[in-house]
A and B are shown apart, each in its own frame.
Chain A
Amino acid sequence: MGYRILIVDNQPLILEYMRDLLEKAGHEVRMAVGGLDAIQIACEFKPQLLFIDMVMPYIDGKRLCGILRKNDDLKDSLYILISGVAAEAGTSYFSDLADVYIAKGPFKTMSKYILDVLNKYRHNHIDELKHKILGVEEIYHREVTKELLFSHKHLEVLFSSMDYGVLEFLEDFRIIYVNKAAEIIFEQPEEELLARDFRKLITKRFHPQLNSFVKSMDEQGLELGDDTPLIINGRYTHLRLLPVIEEPHKSIMAIIRDTTKYQLAKEEVEESLRTKEMLLKEINHRIKNNLGMIGSLLNLQKTYIDNPQYCVYLDEIKGKIQSIELIHEKLYKTEDFRHVDIGSYLYDLGVMIIKTVTDSTFGVEIGLTGGNFPVPIKTAISLGLITAEVVTNAMKYGFGEISKNSYLNGHAPMITIHVNAGTQLQLVIENNGTPFPEGIDIENAESLGLILIHDLANQLDATYGFKAAKNGGTVFQISFDFPKES
């Protein structure tokens, strides 16, 4: 009675030899030149015996036995591994996946063992040959092969235990290797993934990049899933493709990382940041409105006060409140909650204070020179309070005696704010009103406004001073090291 026998070897010489030997013995023989072909042929042919070469490119004999054993039609077949490295490997390298091992040697010796296996199989005595390497005594071992086998074993353990999916495919995209993690990611067992077209596992949008990479085999590799999400079975994944070239063999190694947890955490953080930004804007808006309401209450209070000096005090307080209110107005209109653009802030503040302390027909112009750059909030608040004080003083003392729409030496009343920054931030507020009186010791002054400026300047570790301008009027100048930690 002849058996159905499949021979798997990548060497035509061995295939030709075994085909003739086995056909002459009356068996039906099929041949496969490698693991990928063997899987396809074995599933259709359903061989009772399989002679498989141990060392083959891409899918070695041991793995092939494991894959085919999982097929219900092939699980009880007899697996014979033919090994050219039997002398070096010894029985420890082999596993229970194969039933019998035959060492590669002279054909006449191998024929004796092959026919012996068939004879024992026919008479149900195959157990006598199990866990033996037939013919191993007749060959000698090479140390380098032993080292290679050890190295191979290391890689096998490493790949099978790693969390990253590792998958290898050929230039025609047929898959030749899958580790355990890749089986989990693709939700398919090794035997179903092997020999499949890798592209069928990846969404079509990435096919042009894949095709182009495989054509070029660029040694820099290819990364997929960074910018555009690569989703496999509902999981976010990152794919790194690397060419493996050892002529004449070429393949592509795909390292697959499940980034689902990272992506979900990232989305959660982004959503949380969006919420936080929205809340911060809302808080700044409410603070601004509340400070505005306090300003309105002060205005209301003024209508019940007969003493004009008290009204001036209320206006001064209102100016200080407005300087802070304006900061919060700027903050809720911006994306940056840590900084304020100082030029536009001080200019708007100046305009607001002029409107507060004068009626709308009083024509004091305000100008801004220098830059408009971000400044930490804490510094901006100090500069805002100082500016509010200096501008209020300018209105009160510089232009206090000037009647409506009057001119000073042919010029309109003017306040100029100049701000710039290099290694130091410098703020200069100049007016063309009545000059600042000489001989005032500003550091020891008892005026609330000057005390406030002095304390704020100290907080900024700044130098500051008032002086008379060349063409009349007053110049206030403050400078300090910049940038400062907020």
Chain B
Amino acid sequence: MINLKTQAEEIGIDSDTLLKMYELFIDGTGQDLAELKIAVQNGNIMQIENILHHIKGAATALDLGSISSLAASLEGKISSEYSREASEIILGIEKSLAGLKEWFRGK
């Protein structure tokens, strides 16, 4: 799924640093998702936008295409009327994140 050594070389950093960055991403995105759920419940569009932009930016930076695409697709549909769809997409991001976490745990 992820080749740490190759990716670290492509970026120009150590693979240990990259591993630490993934940990930061997993922890940070977990917190972001918790805040995102509350923002969706409250219909706080601006906060939803900010959190999604943050998740998408971090996922893009690490070349995590699936999470980045999910966040981008939700960004385009933000409005209080789409809260059900938003919940489904958040669930999708959570699943991807859980898969990523599981993969790193195996490492």
Chain A interface residues (CB < 8 Å from chain B) = 11-14, 16-17, 20-21, 24-25, 84, 104-108, 110-111, 115, 139, 142, 144-145, 246-247
Docked-complex contact B75 and A105, CB < 8 angstroms: no
For A105, give its contact among B14, B47, B60 (CB under 8 Å): B60
Q: Which residue of A lies closest to B11 (CB)?
A: A107
A142 to B60, CA, bound (A): 15
Residues B32-69 near A (CB distance < 8 A): 47, 49, 53-54, 57-58, 60-63
Give me 12 A-to-B residue pairs in the complex whose CB atoms sit less than 8 angstroms apart, sorted by A's number.
Answer: A12-B28, A13-B21, A13-B61, A14-B61, A16-B20, A17-B61, A21-B11, A107-B11, A108-B11, A110-B61, A145-B53, A247-B47
A108 to B63, CA, bound (A): 9
Q: A21-B11, A21-B13, A145-B53 are in contact. Are A13 and B60 (CB under 8 A)?
A: no
Q: A17-B13, A24-B12 are in contact. Are A106 and B53 (CB under 8 A)?
A: no
Q: How far is the CB of A223 from chain B (nearest CB, A)?
A: 29
A residues less than 8 Å from B58 (CB atoms): 11, 13
Docked-complex contact A106 and B12, CB < 8 angstroms: no
Q: A84-B57, A106-B60, A246-B47 are in contact. Are A16 and B11 (CB under 8 A)?
A: no
Docked-complex contact A107 and B14, CB < 8 angstroms: no
B24 at the A/B interface (Cβ < 8 Å)? yes
Q: Which residue of A lies closest to B65 (CB)?
A: A106
A residues less than 8 Å from B62 (CB atoms): 106-107
B residues less than 8 Å from A107 (CB atoms): 11, 13, 61-63
A residues less than 8 Å from B54 (CB atoms): 11
B residues less than 8 Å from A25 (CB atoms): 12
A17 to B12, CA, bound (A): 9
Q: Which 6 A-B pairs have the closest CB atoms?
A: A20-B17, A20-B13, A111-B12, A107-B11, A108-B10, A13-B24
B residues less than 8 Å from A145 (CB atoms): 53
Docked-complex contact B28 and A17, CB < 8 angstroms: no
B residues less than 8 Å from A106 (CB atoms): 60-63
A residues less than 8 Å from B13 (CB atoms): 17, 20-21, 24, 107, 111
A20 to B24, CA, bound (A): 15
Q: A21-B13, A108-B63, A111-B11 are in contact. Are A16 and B57 (CB under 8 A)?
A: no
- Beyond A106-B62, A107-B63, A108-B63: 5 further Cβ-contacts under 8 Å? A16-B24, A108-B10, A111-B11, A111-B13, A115-B12
Interface size on B, residues (CB 8 A): 23
Q: A106-B63, A145-B53 are in contact. Are A16 and B12 (CB under 8 A)?
A: no
Docked-complex contact B25 and A17, CB < 8 angstroms: no
Docked-complex contact A24 and B14, CB < 8 angstroms: yes
A418 to B54, CA, bound (A): 86
Q: How far is the CB of B85 from chain A (nearest CB, A)?
A: 18
Docked-complex contact A142 and B24, CB < 8 angstroms: no
A residues less than 8 Å from B7 (CB atoms): 108
Q: How far is the CB of B9 from chain A (nearest CB, A)?
A: 9
A139 to B10, CA, bound (A): 19
Docked-complex contact B53 and A84, CB < 8 angstroms: yes
Q: Which residue of B lies closest to A84 (CB)?
A: B57
A106 to B62, CA, bound (A): 6
Docked-complex contact A142 and B21, CB < 8 angstroms: no
Docked-complex contact A17 and B60, CB < 8 angstroms: no
A residues less than 8 Å from B12 (CB atoms): 21, 24-25, 108, 111, 115
B residues less than 8 Å from A104 (CB atoms): 57, 61
A residues less than 8 Å from B21 (CB atoms): 13, 16-17
Docked-complex contact A17 and B47, CB < 8 angstroms: no
A residues less than 8 Å from B53 (CB atoms): 84, 142, 145
Q: Which residue of A lies closest to B14 (CB)?
A: A20
B residues less than 8 Å from A21 (CB atoms): 11-13
Docked-complex contact A13 and B11, CB < 8 angstroms: no
Q: Which residue of B lies closest to A144 (CB)?
A: B49
A residues less than 8 Å from B28 (CB atoms): 11-13
A14 to B62, CA, bound (A): 10
Q: How far is the CB of A255 from chain B (nearest CB, A)?
A: 23
| B12, B21, B49, B53: residue with the most chain A Cβ atoms closer than 10 Å | B12
A142 to B20, CA, bound (A): 30
A115 to B25, CA, bound (A): 24
Docked-complex contact B63 and A17, CB < 8 angstroms: no
A247 to B34, CA, bound (A): 13
| B11, B25, B62: residue with the most chain A Cβ atoms closer than 10 Å | B11
Q: How far is the CB of B16 from chain A (nearest CB, A)?
A: 9
A residues less than 8 Å from B60 (CB atoms): 105-106, 139
A16 to B57, CA, bound (A): 15
Q: How far is the CB of B27 from chain A (nearest CB, A)?
A: 9
Q: How far is the CB of B8 from chain A (nearest CB, A)?
A: 9
